[in-house]
Structure 1
Amino acid sequence: MKNIRNNARLAEPPPAGAVCEVRRHGLGMAAILATGTFAVGTDAYIIAGFLPEMAQTFAVSNAAAGQSLTVFAICYAVMSPILATLTTKLPRRPLLIAALVLLSAANIFGSLSSTLWQLLGARALAAFGAAIYTPNAGAVAARLVSQEQRGRALSIVIGGLTLSTALGVPLGSLASHWLGWRAALMIVSGLSLLAAVGIGWSLPKLSGQAAVPLKERLVVVRHPGVRSVLLLTILGMGATYTVYAYSLPVMAEVGVNRPEAVFMLFLYGVGAVFGTLASGHATDRYGPRRILFANYAMMTTAFMLFASTVGQDHLLTVLVAGFASFFWGATSFAQTPPQQHRLIALEPKQSALVLSLNASAIYIGIGLGTMLGGIAIIHGAQAIFLTAGAIAICAFLYVLGT
C-alpha cells in the first residue's frame, strides 16, 4: 500500500483528518482483527488437544478422527477463492462479523454431533466462516497501515492464530479434560461471538472491491512469482501439520505423559507467537527471502530433534521435546508474514485475492500434511517426525533454488 490514494477505490473516501487518524491507529485495529483470528485459530487447532477423547467418543481410530482437521483444511482451501469472489463487493465490517457468527454456529453444531459424519459436516461449515474471515482480516489490516508497517500489521493479525496455539489449544485441552470436548467447542463458539462484537464496535467502514469473475481472479496464479510463493506455502505447512494433529498420541509413544504433552503444546504456541512477531519485524528489515531460508533450516532441525527422542531417557526426552516444540511452533508460523508480504508486493491491487489464495495454500498444506501424518503414524513416532523433516528439507531446498 504505497499511500492512501491507492486505496481510494477500495475504501469509502474519508476526510483527510480521518485518514491520518485511521493510519495512526492502524496497528491497534490490526490487534482487534487478531481477536478474530484467535477465535479462528482456536477452532482450527483445538482438535489436536482432545483428539484421543473425540476418537473414543465416536469409536474410531486417532487417524480417522484426525481427518476432521483434513476436512476443515480442504474445505477451506477450496472455498477461500470462491468466497473471495462472491463477497468481494460487500463492505468489510459486516462481512467479517458474519464470518465469525457462522464460525460460532458451526461450533455449536459440532458440539451437538452424535456421529463422526455429523462432526465432519460441522467442520466443513466452520471452514467456510474461517475462509471468509482470515484473508479479509489480513487484507483490511494491510489497508489500514503504511507500506513500512505492513509486515508488522500482518504479523499481528496472524499473531491471533499463533496466540490461539499458545493459549487456546492448551486451555481447550484442559477444558475438554474437565468438561468434555463438546464443552470446549462451545467455548470456541463464545470466543467467535466476542470477536464479532469487538470488530463491530471498533472497525471503521471499508467498502469492498470491484467485482471480478473467479476466472479472471485466478489469472494471478499465472504469475510465476505467485505460483512459487504458493507452492512454498504448501510445502512449509505440510511439514508442520504432518505431526500436529497427532501430537498427543505421538508424544505418548515417545514417553511424554498427558500433562507434559499439553505443556509441549503450550511451548509450541509460545514459539509460534514469538516466531510470528519476530518474523514480521525481520521481514520489514531484512526482506522475506532471508527469513524463509533461515526458517526452514530451523524447522528441519526441530523435527530431527523430535526423532532423536525415540528410545531415550524420560528426562532427556522431555527436555529435548520441549526445546524442539518451541522451535517447531516458531518456524511453523514465522513463514506466514514473509509469504504474505511477498504476495502483496507481487500483486498489490489484488491483495485480498492473493492472501485468500495463500490461505488456500496453507490449508492445502494442512490437509496433505494431516493425511501423510495419518499414514506415517501407523509406522510409529519416529516415522512421522522423519516424514515431517523430509518435507521441511524440501521447503529449504526450494527457497535455496528460487
Structure 2
Amino acid sequence: MANIPITPIARERIAPRGLASTLVLALGTFAVGTDAFVVAGFLPAMAASLRVSEATAGQSLTVFAAAYAVASPVLATLTARLPRRALLVGALLVLGVANAGSALAPDYPVLIATRVLAALGAAAFTPNAGAVASSLVAPAQRARALAVVVGGLTVATALGVPLGNLAGRALDWRSALALVAALCGVCAAGVFAIMPVLPGNPRVPLRDRLAMLRRPGVLAVLPLTVLGMGAAYTVYAYSVPVLGAVGVAPPGVTAMLFLYGAGAVAGNLASGAATDRWGSVRVLACGYAVMAVGLAALALAVATGTSSPVLTGVLMAAWGASSWCQTPAQQHRLIAAAPGETALVVGLNASAIYLGIGLGTVFGGLVLPAGTGVAAGAGAVLAVLALSYLGLTRRHA
C-alpha cells in the first residue's frame, strides 16, 4: 500500500487523536479487501445466475485487479491535491455504489462494468488511508496506526471470502454484495464524522512515479511480485469448485476458506519478523516452495479422488500462508533497491500485486475447462517458476 506523505504544514494543523481514530479507516480497508475477493466465495452461484461458466465469472476478479493495478498510480496523480477527507469519503461512496450495481446486475457485461467502477474506488481509498492514519496520531504511534489500517486488509483476506460463501448460502450472492455496499456506506459516514479536514498533497507527476521502473534493482525485483501473486491466485477465484473436487461438502467449504484466511494472516505476520531475522530471499524461497508443494498436493488429490478433510485443511492454510508471506519480503527488497523512494516503490508493488492477481486468474480461467486439478497444477508450476526467478535475482535482496 502506497503511503502518500502528509505535508508538515498539514501535520501541524492536526491534534493527535490516538489509535482509536484510525479504526474507521481500518474498517474501510476491510471493506475494500472484502470487495476485492468476496466473489470467490459464491462464484458457482453467481455463474449460474448470470448464465456464464465459472471460468468466465472468475474473470470479474481479474477485471477488478487489472483496473486497480492500472488506476492506482494514475488516480494518485490526479487526486493528489484534493482534500483528504473528501477524497476518502468519495472513494468509499463510489465503492458502495459499484457494489450495489454489481448486486443488481442483470447480466455479465453490467457486472464487469460495476467491477471496474469498484476498482477505481478501491484504488483511490487504499493508498491514502495509511497516510491519513499516520497523520492522525502522535509520531510515536505512526507505525502502529499503519499496522491498524493494513490490518483491515489482512482481516478481509481471512474473513472476506468465507463470509461471502456463508452469506451466499444463507441468502444469495446478490445479497452478499449488497451487504458490502452497505458496509461501504457506513465506513463513508464514519470517515466523514471522525476525520478532520485535511488539505491535499503536492502533486507527483505520473512520469516520476513510473521512473522507478527504470532503476535496475526495482526492475529486477518487481516482476517477482507479479509472478508470485499470479501463482497464488491461479485457482483462488475457483477455490470453491476445487474444494468440491476433493470431496469437501458445501457446509465444510466455509471452514476451509477460513483456514486459508487464517494461514494468510499468520504468513503475513510471520514474514515480517522472519525477513528481519533471516532475510527476504530465504523467506520468499520457503514461501514459494510451500506454495508449489501445497498446490501440487491439491492437484494430486483431485486426480486420485483423495478425500481427507484434515489434509485439505492443512493444504488450505499452507496455501494462504505462502500467498501472503510474499508482500513484506518483497517490499523489503524494493525499499532496499530504492531507499529514498519508499512510498513510490511500495505503491508500484501494490499495483504489481493486483496485476499478478488478475493475470493469475486469467490463466486459471483458461486452464479450468481441463479440470480443477489441472488448474491447481498450473499454479504449482508458476510457483516453481517464481522460485527460479528468485534465484536469478537474489543478489538484489
TM-score normalised by structure 2 residue count: 0.88
Residue identity matched to 1:259: P
Post-superposition offset of 1:282: 3.6
Q: Which residue of 2 aligns with 1:277?
A: 269
Matches within 5 A, 1:129-168: 129-140=121-132, 150=143, 156-168=148-160
CA-CA distance at 1:161 after TM superposition: 2.2
| CA 1:61–1:10: 2 relative to 1, 3 Å | farther
Quote the residue 1:176 is aligned against.
168
CA distance in 1, matches of 2:157, 2:383: 20
Larger mean CA deviation between 353-362 and 101-110 belongs to: 353-362
Residue matched to 1:310: 302
* Residues 258-269 of structure 1 mapped to structure 2, 5 A cutoff: 258-269=250-261
Q: Residues 239-254 of structure 1 correspond to what in structure 2 (within 5 A)? A: 239-254=231-246
Q: Is the 8 A contact 2:259 2:316 kept in 1?
A: yes
Seen in structure 2, the aligned counterparts of structure 1 residues 148 and 72 have a Cα distance that, compared at 3 Å, is: same
Q: Aligned runs of 1:89-128 on 2, under 5 Å?
A: 89-128=81-120
Mapped contact 2:31–2:184 kept (Cα < 8 A): yes
Deviation at 1:78, TM superposition (A): 1.4
Alignment of 1:218-367 (within 5 A): 218-312=210-304, 315-316=307-308, 318-344=309-335, 346-347=337-338, 350-367=341-358
Whether the 8 Å CA contact 2:295–2:319 is kept in 1: the answer is: yes
Question: CA offset at residue 53 of structure 1?
Answer: 0.8
The structural deviation recorded for 1:43 is 0.6
Instruction: Name the SS for the 1:72 alignment partner.
Output: helix
Find the counterpart in structure 2 of residue 55 from structure 1.
Answer: 47
Partner of 1:194: 186
Aligned counterparts of 1:67 and 1:13: Cα–Cα separation in 2: 42
Question: 2:359 maps to which residue?
Answer: 368
Structure 1 residues 225, 154: closer, same or farther in 2, change over 3 A?
A: farther
RMSD: 2.8
Secondary structure of 1:76's counterpart equals helix
Bigger drift between 185-194 and 333-342 goes to 333-342
Same amino acid, percent of matched pairs: 50
Q: 2:212 & 2:134 partners in 1: Cα distance?
A: 19
CA separation of 1:288 and 1:94: change in aligned 2, threshold 3 A: farther
Q: Compared with structure 1, are the counterparts of its residues 98 and 299 closer, same or farther at alpha carbon in structure 2 (3 Å cutoff)?
A: same
Q: What is the alpha-carbon distance in structure 2 between the residues aligned to residue 223 and residue 54 of structure 1? A: 43
CA distance in 1, matches of 2:379, 2:354: 16
> What are the residue-to-residue correspondences of 1:66-85 with 2, within 5 Å?
66-85=58-77
For the pair 1:39 / 2:31, whether they are aligned, the reply is yes
Using a 3 Å threshold, how does the CA distance of structure 1 residues 203 and 306 change in structure 2: closer, same or farther? farther
Deviation of the 1:60 alpha carbon: 1.0
Paired with 1:159 and 1:48, the residues of 2 have a C-alpha distance of 21
Distance change (3 Å), C-alpha of 1:322 and 1:8:
closer
Contact 1:9 1:209 in 2 (8 A): yes
Distance change in 2, residues 1:103/1:349 (3 Å): farther
Change (3 A) 1:363 1:61: same
What displacement does 1:272 show?
1.3
Q: Partner amino acid for 1:235?
A: L
Deviations 1:76-132 (A, max 9, x none): 111111111101222333322221111011001111110110010000000001111
Match of 2:12 in 1: 14
Structure 1 residues 125 and 11, CA, compared in 2 at 3 Å: closer, same or farther?
A: farther
Q: Which residue type is aligned with residue 66 of structure 2?
A: I
CA contact (8 A) 2:67 2:119 kept: yes
| C-alpha distance 323-113 of structure 1, shift in aligned 2 (>3 A) | same
| 1:63–1:374 CA contact under 8 A, matched in 2 | yes
The size of the alignment, in residue pairs, is 389
Alpha-carbon separation, structure 1, partners of 2:200 and 2:337: 21
1: CA distance, partners of 2:273 / 2:86: 30
Q: Is the 1:155–1:277 Cα contact (8 Å) retained in structure 2?
A: no
SS, match of residue 339 in structure 1: helix
In the TM superposition, residue 278 of structure 1 has moved relative to its aligned partner by 2.4
Please say if residues 154 and 337 of structure 1, whose CA atoms lie closer than 8 Å, have aligned partners that are also in contact: no
Determine if contact 1:271/1:326 at 8 Å carries over to the other structure.
yes
- Kept in 1, the 8 Å contact 2:133–2:142? The answer is no
Structure 1 length-normalised TM: 0.87
Q: Would the aligned equivalents of 1:138 and 1:355 in 2 still touch at CA under 8 Å?
A: no
- Structure 1 counterpart of 2:129, which letter? A
| Separation in 2, partners of 1:234, 1:30 | 30
* Structure 2 counterpart of 1:263, one-letter code: A
Name the CA distance, whole Å, in 2 between partners of 1:8 and 1:138.
10
Unpaired runs of at least 5, structure 2: none
Give the C-alpha shift of residue 140 in structure 1: 4.4
- After superposition, the Cα gap between the structure-2 partners of 1:11 and 1:235, relative to the gap in structure 1 and judged at 3 Å, is farther
1:159-183 CA distances to partner (integer Å, 9 max, x unpaired)? 3223123222212212122221111
Q: 1:336 to 1:345 in 2, by over 3 A?
A: same
In the alignment, the residues of structure 2 paired with residue 302 and residue 253 of structure 1 have an alpha-carbon distance, to the nearest angstrom, of 16
